[in-house]
Amino acid sequence: MSEDNLTKPAGSRSKGSVPESAQRILELADDELILGWRNSEWTGIAPFLEEDVAFSSIAQTEIGHARAWYELAAKELGTDADALAFDRDSDDYRCAPFVELRLVPDWAQTIARHWLYETADAIRIKALKASDDPDVAGLAGKIDREEAYHRIHADMWADRLREERRFTEALDSLWPYALGLLDKEQRDRLSEATGREQVEAVERRGHTGELRPLWEEMTMVRRSIPGAAW
Amino acid sequence: MIWEVFRQEREGQPFQHGGSLEAPNLAFAETYAREFYGRRDESFALWIVPREAVEEVRDPYVADVFDRDYRRVDGYSLKVKLKEARELAAKNAPHFPREESSAISDLESA
């Protein structure tokens, strides 16, 4: 099927028309969806069976969290989670470049991102739990209970690979990206948690060239059959 | 390294073998065990044991060559013994009608 035959996403909207509060929720949702998608690329090819099951499960819960955030944003925007996840143009996604990077088949980089992401996400979720919006605070609390397992998993790997050159090099190269995940005022806490100096962050505006191919694959069914559900 | 995982479904219940997994150390074993046996809230507690720590005993029977089935927890059946006793009584005292061998009848109705 050629791209021309695919319908224009029904729910696509320009950034300007989305209120700031929904925009912030979409950042979270898009981060979780795209990272969940990237992590799921390891399903079937993770280094060993036990890890394959565990990492796939983590990918699945990230996507579940994305769904929950999309549902919250959808209430405000008068649409639904699937439309937000799949019917926007790739340029309208609000995810950080950090989660877009395709790291398969490099396990050291994958674990470096996983650990940096979970460490940053813990800081972000903690702040969200204190949100004035009870829906946001409530959902952050629920998500945090599942994220606790992700942190156990990420910390165990980081501890195991701490001395590995490939892992520390991966941390070095991904660090500016990881900083871009958080608001500026939260970045000191990430520095503290990871023992790393602040550097210039790869910010959330704009996308890497790696998002588009992911988006093509991820939205293929919805673009072929508008409103497709399964 | 192979780890055996035992799970307790509810508090107070006996632990039962859930399965085994491979992990390089206890931290990994625990993380994977949580994923495999705890993700769906199906376990109250887990025991994670290195396989080498488990001593397997094959053919653990203590020879039981004499008839001491009364030592078994399920006791022993009277049925066969009664039949033998009845046959023996009939053989040794053929002139008594069966109804009159009261000792055995009493046992039987007990």
Given this model, what pLDDT does residue B105 score? 57
Nearest CA in chain A to B27: A156
Instruction: Tell me if B62 is assigned to some domain.
Output: no
Nearest CA in chain B to A52: B32
What's the CA gap between A195 and A159, in Å, rounded? 14
Instruction: Tell me if B59 is assigned to some domain.
Output: no
- Contact A150/B at CB under 8 A: no
Instruction: Tell me if B58 is assigned to some domain.
Output: no
Instruction: Tell me if B28 is assigned to some domain.
Output: yes
Residues of chain A with pLDDT under 70: 1-17
Instruction: Tell me if B100 is assigned to some domain.
Output: yes
Q: Give yes or no: residues B46 and B6 share one domain.
A: yes
- Contact A48/B at CB under 8 A: yes
For A53, the closest of B27, B28, B36 (CB atoms) is: B36
Given this model, what pLDDT does residue A12 score? 41
Instruction: Tell me if B47 is assigned to some domain.
Output: yes
Which residues are B2's β-sheet partners? B22
| Residues in Cβ contact with A67 at an 8 Å cutoff, skipping those fewer than 6 apart | A29, A81, A85
How many domains is chain B built from? 2
What's the CA gap between B2 and B51, in Å, rounded? 6
Given this model, what pLDDT does residue A9 score? 40
Render each residue's pLDDT in chain B as its tens digit; 110 residues: 999 999 999 999 999 999 999 999 999 999 999 999 998 889 999 999 999 999 999 988 777 777 776 777 676 678 888 899 999 988 887 665 555 555 655 665 55
CA distance B23 to chain A (A): 8
Nearest CA in chain B to A159: B27
Using an 8 Å Cβ cutoff, are B23 and B1 in contact? Answer: yes
What amino acid occupies position A115?
Answer: W
C-alpha torsion angle, residues A83, A131, A182, B34 (rounded to 10): -80
Set of chain A residues whose Cβ sits within 8 Å of the Cβ of B34: 149, 152
Q: Give yes or no: residues B78 and B105 share one domain.
A: yes
Domain boundaries, chain A: 3-224
CATH number of the domain bearing residue B45: 3.10.20.520
Instruction: Tell me if B64 is assigned to some domain.
Output: no
Class of domain A3-224 as given by CATH: mainly alpha
Using an 8 Å Cβ cutoff, are A207 and A91 in contact? Answer: yes
Q: What would the pLDDT profile of A163-176 be if each residue is shown by its tens digit?
A: 999 999 999 999 99
Using an 8 Å Cβ cutoff, are B28 and A156 in contact? Answer: yes
Instruction: Tell me if B63 is assigned to some domain.
Output: no
Domain range enclosing B38: 2-53
For B34, the closest of A51, A149, A159 (CB atoms) is: A149
